Amino acid sequence: DSLPPAHYKETMNTVLLWIQQSETKLSMPQVAVAEYEIMEQRLRELKALQSSLQEQQKGLNYLSTTVEDLSRKAPAEVSQRYRSEIEVILGRWKKLSAQLVEHCQKLEERMTKLQRFQ
């Protein structure tokens, strides 16, 4: 009763892999680009990442509700382990989500400035 369903581990692995890949994409150095087409391409990539983030939200919600269910059934130490695990993931998720919004806004601002400049 205190063990998560098999689907929990699969979802956990999927969400973690997605977070790692997305963090890697966002950590690429932002180079100053003066070519509008390159900026447009980067913005499309970031928007695609935002769409992907929304798709992955279901998995994250499932993990959170499963941890809540387990917390009611499992012994305290097991429950705490799952809560700690999901808290780390939620923290990374929120940070990634905020970075994504920030990157999109900055790029859109730069694109507007470049258009005005040209």
Residue 1's contacts (CB-CB under 8 Å, 6 or more residues apart) are 73, 74
Residue listed under structure tokens 């808290």: 87
pLDDT score of 73: 86
Using N-to-C axis directions, what is the helix angle for 76-117 and 36-73, rounded to 10°?
170
Residue ranges of the chain with per-residue pLDDT less than 70: 1-2, 29-33
pLDDT score of 2: 65
The rounded distance, in Å, linking the Cα atoms of 9 and 65 is 14
pLDDT score of 20: 96
CATH architecture type of domain 34-117: Up-down Bundle (1.20)
DSSP conformational letter for 74:
S
- Contact assessment for residue 105 and residue 47, using Cβ atoms and an 8 Å cutoff: no
Q: What is the pTM of this model?
A: 0.83
pLDDT score of 67: 93
Q: Where are the domains of the chain?
A: 34-117
